[in-house]
Amino acid sequence: MKKLSILFLFSLIWIGVQAQPFTLKGQVNDSNGNPIVNATVMAAHHTKAQAQTDAQGLFLLRSEDPIKEVIVKANGYQDQRAAVNGRTFLTITLQLGQSVPIIQKDIMIQERALAPALDAVFSGAPMNYKQSIAVGESMPGNFNTESYAGIEENGYQLVKNNPLSTFSIDVDRASYSNVRRFLNNGSLPPKDAVRVEEMINYFDYDYPDPIGEYPIAIHTELTRAPWDEEKQLLHIGVQAKRIDKEELPPSNLVFLIDVSGSMQSANKLPLLKSSLNMLVDELRPEDRVAMVVYAGAAGLVLESTPGNQKEKIKAAINALEAGGSTAGGAGIKLAYQEAQANFMKKGNNRVILASDGDFNVGASSDGEMEDLIELKREEGVYLTVLGFGMGNYKDSKMETLADHGNGNYAYIDNLSEARKTLIGEFGATLFTVAKDVKIQVEFNPEVVAEYRLVGYENRLLDEEDFNDDKKDAGEMGAGHTVTAIYEIIPVGSSSGRSVDPLRYQTEKEQSVSFVQRPDETAWVKLRYKQPDENTSTRMEHIVSNEPQALENASERVHWSASIAAFGMKLRDSEYVQEMDYRSIIELAKSGLGADPNGYRSEAIQLMRNAQRLSSNRSMP
């Protein structure tokens, strides 16, 4: 009997061992030892067992059966096979070359760089890895109808003629994740897809919180420019107050979902549904959600429902299917009607539009939709826009709608981005703490000869708009940061431009009388309104004339400057021609910092991708 019991016990142990999924960990690098992001690792015997590498090139692959061999694919690299032979950790090196494109379905997703140490990365991994999304799936045929608004890069302004620079803040970050999609798919992005300010503002710079009554704080730093030692960079950071999720006011949300035929691709509606399911998990009982869909017609598929009825909300989301044409205008109207019907006077009232932006049927003129969105904005219902997909993506339309709706705009290219936008930045994405935020910088002509604002081309304002409370500007959510960079040419620099004396004005008439303040570089002013007020409050900050050497500047300056240079390089800007990708990458490394989520490490890999693609393009 004793032997039987022991045998029975061993049988149970053996069955338990057999029931455990096979787990393989590893890292994928290039021939220089640099990690490759978003490489696909799949079991050779069963390609549904797949994983993607994170920002450190790490992957975690699980299979119900033992894995004897894996196949590794990455855009721009030769496919690689590697034998497992009982190993539990593989280091795989890929060589440059043509990879056979695959449509990756049922991918096992590895969370992105949960901690710097390898053990911490894997020990924190979630148990549910299967997600039905596609990464890098292209549209049938070779056509591409994506649209981007044209951008004419800001040039230098002479301080003696234009001492004031005025712009609306921009918290959108869609351009960065869209650029990432192009680079990870093996191509350089279109020039106008790169909005440098959104590249910079994708990252958190850990500015100190506001002190006292103000909901936002201003921080500045002046340093030498990394691409020209005769120039300077003025780094301006604005930090909105952080609010714990439990302390946020209740939300009245209306999901407005595009279920037209153009949303059938796995990186559109399936990814959208997974993203919204994650957001539903964050809802509280006091929050409410309704859902409107639109295709050939618009309809209400979920009445306003308390946030604790998660299964009901998720069932409505998971039942969505794509098909038909796109009556976007009718959908927006119905969504705002639903938001207004359940309006919370002291709450966060918001429509969340999720689409590829391809509105093509019905009352869909941009002007009509923008007028409606502006009207509802004044009535307290804001708009958040989430973009999905590729091939027919309408970036220009999505950005315009968000700007008119006192909201923000994000591009979701994978589940990690959805988690970052909808969970990690829940308050910043969905709850406004300051609206109509404008910045005006006055440069001291005694110290600064010329200046240039990096990015923000579509956010420039006239100088008189700064004091005009009727002029709409950008919004900041709880915990949001905004970073702006000015490139400065100091007085006396050989980099400055010369202008011939005027023929019809004397030197006396040309001269301007100003207060002597040689210890000041600039005067930064900021205006904002409380979300429920129409009168603005002004803040100000003096920038002292004490530029630091670049090596003494903070990590946040090193990082923001590297991303600015990266964005300008992708745009083939004349202002960064003297700086190559190698120098940009080295500057980024000096600003890497702790990087707890791996976002900065991922950006460095994107820089390497761009360097390789640029080299390939320049080859005869």
Q: Which pTM does this prediction carry?
A: 0.76
On whether both 377 and 466 belong to a single domain, the answer is: no
pLDDT of residue 456 exceeding 90, the answer is yes
pLDDT of residue 26 exceeding 70, the answer is yes
> How sure is the predictor about 468, in pLDDT bands with cuts at 50, 70 and 90?
very high
On whether both 325 and 197 belong to a single domain, the answer is: no
Alpha carbons within 13 angstroms on the beta-carbon side of residue 417 total 26
In 226-264, DSSP assigns E strands to 228-240, 251-258
Can you read off the two tokens belonging to residue 469?
């409370």
Residue 351 sits in a domain of what CATH number? 3.40.50.410
Report the chain's C-alpha Rg in angstroms.
26
Find, among 402, 139, 419, the residue nearest to 263 by Cα. Answer: 139
Tell me whether residue 332 is in a domain: yes
On whether both 456 and 408 belong to a single domain, the answer is: no
pLDDT: is 388 or 501 the higher one? 388
What value does the mean pLDDT of the chain take?
A: 82
Separation between Cα atoms, residue 536 and residue 216, nearest integer Å:
13
Tell me whether residue 499 is in a domain: no
pLDDT of residue 408 exceeding 90, the answer is no
Query: Average pLDDT for residues 568-574, to the nearest whole number?
Result: 96
Least confident span in 108-117, 272-281, 408-417: 108-117
Tell me whether residue 372 is in a domain: yes
Which pLDDT does position 105 carry in this prediction?
Answer: 31
Contact 251, 288 (CB under 8 A): yes
Neighbours of 100 (CB within 10 A): 8
> How sure is the predictor about 503, in pLDDT bands with cuts at 50, 70 and 90?
confident
On whether both 105 and 209 belong to a single domain, the answer is: no
Neighbours of 85 (CB within 10 A): 8
> How sure is the predictor about 423, in pLDDT bands with cuts at 50, 70 and 90?
confident
Q: How many domains does the chain have?
A: 3
Which pLDDT does position 9 carry in this prediction?
Answer: 45
Tell me whether residue 504 is in a domain: no
Contact 562, 579 (CB under 8 A): no
> How sure is the predictor about 35, in pLDDT bands with cuts at 50, 70 and 90?
confident
On whether both 213 and 286 belong to a single domain, the answer is: no
On whether both 553 and 459 belong to a single domain, the answer is: yes
Which pLDDT does position 131 carry in this prediction?
Answer: 26
On whether both 441 and 337 belong to a single domain, the answer is: no
Q: Which of 430, 452, 485 is the last residue of a domain?
A: 430
On whether both 213 and 250 belong to a single domain, the answer is: no
Q: Which range, 120-124, 374-378, 488-492, has the best average confidence (pLDDT)?
A: 488-492
Alpha carbons within 13 angstroms on the beta-carbon side of residue 535 total 0
pLDDT of residue 617 exceeding 70, the answer is no
Tell me whether residue 498 is in a domain: no
Separation between Cα atoms, residue 508 and residue 510, nearest integer Å:
5
Least confident span in 206-215, 349-358, 402-411, 481-490: 402-411
Helices 366-378, 328-341: axis angle to 10 degrees equals 10
pLDDT: is 31 or 120 the higher one? 31
Tell me whether residue 354 is in a domain: yes
Domain containing residue 598: 157-243+433-493+517-615
pLDDT of residue 283 exceeding 60, the answer is yes
Say whether 574 sits in a helix, a strand or coil: helix
Q: Which of 387, 403, 430 is the last residue of a domain?
A: 430
Residue 565 sits in a domain of what CATH number? 2.60.40.1230
On whether both 426 and 469 belong to a single domain, the answer is: no
Say whether 311 sits in a helix, a strand or coil: helix
- Report pLDDT digits (tens) over 76-130: 678 889 988 877 788 888 876 544 433 333 333 333 322 233 333 333 333 222 2
Contact 132, 104 (CB under 8 A): no
Which residue type sits at 492? G
pLDDT of residue 190 exceeding 90, the answer is yes
Tell me whether residue 2 is in a domain: no
Query: Average pLDDT for residues 436-449, to the nearest whole number?
Result: 96
> How sure is the predictor about 366, in pLDDT bands with cuts at 50, 70 and 90?
low
Say whether 41 sits in a helix, a strand or coil: strand
Residue 124 sits in a domain of what CATH number? 2.60.40.1120
On whether both 380 and 268 belong to a single domain, the answer is: yes
Which pLDDT does position 128 carry in this prediction?
Answer: 29
- Report pLDDT digits (tens) over 310-357: 999 999 999 988 876 655 677 888 899 999 999 999 888 999 999 887
Which pLDDT does position 405 carry in this prediction?
Answer: 72
On whether both 363 and 415 belong to a single domain, the answer is: yes
Query: Average pLDDT for residues 551-574, to the nearest whole number?
Result: 96
Separation between Cα atoms, residue 70 and residue 24, nearest integer Å:
10
Find, among 410, 452, 376, 372, the residue nearest to 165 by Cα. Answer: 452
Separation between Cα atoms, residue 317 and residue 141, nearest integer Å:
30
pLDDT of residue 133 exceeding 90, the answer is no
Cα angle 103, 108, 111; round to 5: 120
Tell me whether residue 239 is in a domain: yes
Say whether 224 sits in a helix, a strand or coil: strand
Burial 197-217 (b: 16+ CB within 10 A, else e): bbbbbbbbbebeebeeeebbb
On whether both 101 and 221 belong to a single domain, the answer is: no
Q: Which of 131, 146, 165 is the last residue of a domain?
A: 131
Query: Average pLDDT for residues 159-173, to the nearest whole number?
Result: 92
Say whether 529 sits in a helix, a strand or coil: strand
